[in-house]
Structure 1
Amino acid sequence: MGDAEQKGIMLMQEAEKKQKGAKGFLGNLFGGSSKIEEAAELYVRAANSFKMAKKWAAAGESFCRAGQLQIELGSKHEAATHYVDAGNCYRKGDPNEAIKSLHQAVTIYTDMGRFTIAAKHHITIAEIYETELVDIEQAIANYEQAADYYKGEESNSSANKCLLKVAQFSAQLENYEKAVEIYEQVGISAMDNSLLKYSAKDHFFRAAVCHMCLDQVNAQICVQKYEDMFPAFSESRECKLVKSLLKACEEENVDAFTQSLQEFDSISRLDQWLTTMLLRVKKSISAEPDLL
């Protein structure tokens, strides 16, 4: 056992004694709240010692205890900060505990009306579900909650970033209607913004790809709608690609479909999401017919 870990254990023990002393009759009589403050400080010191020793679970627990005491003292901001620190420590070894701690912080922040910072921590929770726990439905739920909080605070750019993650994951789960709705919504909002105008083309492209996964006939109608609504999309390589792919689908020509993708990809690399979605479309036209 290293010196830092040993110091952390000793500080935890000292904090526990202070905490117990504050709860007795004599503690209440002789400055119980000051003893709780001292205990909270000791827990934080213990947590920092455990961090130095890379004992992340112990550090997380110490920060949680400090957070609980700060709630007793009525210091909501301090309590939320400690729960966030606990979440950061737990994330290095126990993502479920990290989520639990971050949710406690979010509860405090929303109670205080701090919705922007609550949204930020919902994003962190979503990222844990996305990368460490691979629970895409929970990731979607937390990105949506973050988007709602950002919208409520008129942080529309931040809300749209979260919604684009929702669209991406919804399409992965084959909820194409939801993905289309978001891509169109964000694309339309970007059209009228000189700084975001260029990105509208990409949003409409992704909406069109989702339409192709859902219904190739309807996709043609929607692509025409995007062209009418946003002439810059009509002139883009992305729009030309979608049209050539739809033609290949109509003709059930897998080779033409593949060639169009290769030509586009040789100039503008398709990302993993687009590759996955377009592979689904390709499989739909190359599938063998059912045998009777």
Structure 2
Amino acid sequence: ESYHWRGLPEVCSMSDRERELCDSSHGPHKVEEACEMYCRAANMFKMAKNWSAAGAAFCKAARIHSQLQNKHDCATSFIDAGNAYKKIDPNEAIKCLNAAIDIYTDMGRFTIAAKHHINIAEIYEAELVDIEKAIAHYEQAADYYKGEESNSSANKCLLKVGAYSAQLEQYAKAIEIYEQVGSNTMDNPLLKYSAKEYFFKASLCHFIVDELNAKIAVEKYEEMFPAFSDSRECKLLKKLLEAHEEQNCEAFTEAVKEFDSISRLDQWHTTLLLRIKKTIQGDEGDLK
């Protein structure tokens, strides 16, 4: 039974002549030969950097593999098509990668499916700038990795979701993710050093929502993970909470500058800290 591919490029559909050539009445060898010809043509198009033609040829090879019940080869051809289309048309690349994902999930190859959900998420991030859709694919990848007990890979995807959720002001979702990943890593000797960073990020998200929320969260994280108390991140949070309570914008800025002089704050941290600072008497200045 062949697959019904959703939303694939129109150019990937077969002509009547191509269907006739690939009809099983011509014998499996003829069909396989047609498939090999499409693959050779696709690779020649790749060498010529004709990415659209390469993608179309790989798609047609995929359809023949589907007729021959070669599921793995079918998925591989769709991946090759997606990689070609990625050079010129990200939307068509996504359609091909989704077609491959359908096959891999049907085969129970969830780790490979997760990898290609990440590829789609990266296209939405870099090419199409649709963060909501990127989040959805990172979440799906994380679910598949968790199901396969690949917890480290799942956590990497969840952290991407957490970072974007905070940027989109979906703080409750970001907090849940950072607390979950922090809890998962704090008991792992190789990963526990990272736990303080995740609890720090969760605390910043709490802080934006409500100062009292942040105080309660910091106390909870110190109790859960005593090493957090001695971290520079925890000490910074306490200084920021104090400055915020006193509505002391200068003290807030000074605490951030002191921390940043030793441990550089990236754009994500800076964005959230600015959002917190703006709640101090409506301040709209910078942090440094």
TM-score > 0.5, shorter chain as reference = yes
Q: Is 1:287 aligned to residue 282 of structure 2? A: yes
Residues in 2 aligned to 1:41 and 1:19: alpha-carbon distance in whole angstroms = 15
Query: In the alignment, which of 53, 56, 60 is matched to residue 55 of structure 2?
Result: 60
Residues in 1 aligned to 2:82 and 2:280: alpha-carbon distance in whole angstroms = 47
The code of the aligned residue for 2:106 comes to D
The code of the aligned residue for 2:216 comes to I
Q: Tell whether the 8 Å contact from 2:121 to 2:137 is kept in structure 1 after alignment.
A: yes
Q: Tell whether the 8 Å contact from 2:236 to 2:255 is kept in structure 1 after alignment.
A: yes
Aligned to 1:92: 87
Aligned to 1:142: 137
Q: Is 1:125 aligned to residue 120 of structure 2? A: yes
Q: Which runs of 5+ in 2 are unaligned?
A: 1-11, 284-288
Residues in 1 aligned to 2:16 and 2:188: alpha-carbon distance in whole angstroms = 56
Residues in 1 aligned to 2:277 and 2:78: alpha-carbon distance in whole angstroms = 47
Q: Tell whether the 8 Å contact from 1:211 to 1:219 is kept in structure 2 after alignment.
A: yes
Taking only the aligned residue pairs, the percentage that are identical comes to: 66
Q: How far off is 1:17 after superposition?
A: 5.7
The structure richer in helix per residue is: 1
Residues in 2 aligned to 1:58 and 1:142: alpha-carbon distance in whole angstroms = 27
Query: In the alignment, which of 35, 39, 42 is matched to residue 44 of structure 1?
Result: 39
Residues in 2 aligned to 1:18 and 1:102: alpha-carbon distance in whole angstroms = 23
Q: How far off is 1:246 after superposition?
A: 1.2
Q: Is 1:170 aligned to residue 173 of structure 2? A: no
Aligned to 2:3: none
Q: Tell whether the 8 Å contact from 1:211 to 1:218 is kept in structure 2 after alignment.
A: yes
Q: Which runs of 5+ in 1 are unaligned?
A: 1-11
Q: Tell whether the 8 Å contact from 1:18 to 1:35 is kept in structure 2 after alignment.
A: no
**Count of residues in Structure 1 that have an aligned counterpart in Structure 2:** 270
Q: Tell whether the 8 Å contact from 1:18 to 1:36 is kept in structure 2 after alignment.
A: no
Query: In the alignment, which of 183, 191, 200 is matched to residue 196 of structure 1?
Result: 191
Aligned to 2:20: 20
Q: Is 1:258 aligned to residue 250 of structure 2? A: no
Query: In the alignment, which of 206, 215, 219 is matched to residue 211 of structure 1?
Result: 206
The code of the aligned residue for 1:49 comes to M
Q: Tell whether the 8 Å contact from 2:21 to 2:34 is kept in structure 1 after alignment.
A: no
Residues in 2 aligned to 1:35 and 1:102: alpha-carbon distance in whole angstroms = 27
Residues in 1 aligned to 2:281 and 2:137: alpha-carbon distance in whole angstroms = 37
Greater mean deviation of Cα atoms: 34-43 or 141-150: 34-43
Q: Is 1:114 aligned to residue 95 of structure 2? A: no
SS at match of 1:54: coil
Aligned to 2:7: none
Paired residues for 1:242-253 under 5 Å? 242-253=237-248
Aligned to 2:264: 269
Residues in 2 aligned to 1:21 and 1:182: alpha-carbon distance in whole angstroms = 52
Deviations 1:138-173 (A, max 9, x none): 011000000100111111111111111111111111
| Length-normalised TM-score, structure 2 | 0.90
Higher gyration radius (CA): 1
Residues in 2 aligned to 1:248 and 1:254: alpha-carbon distance in whole angstroms = 7
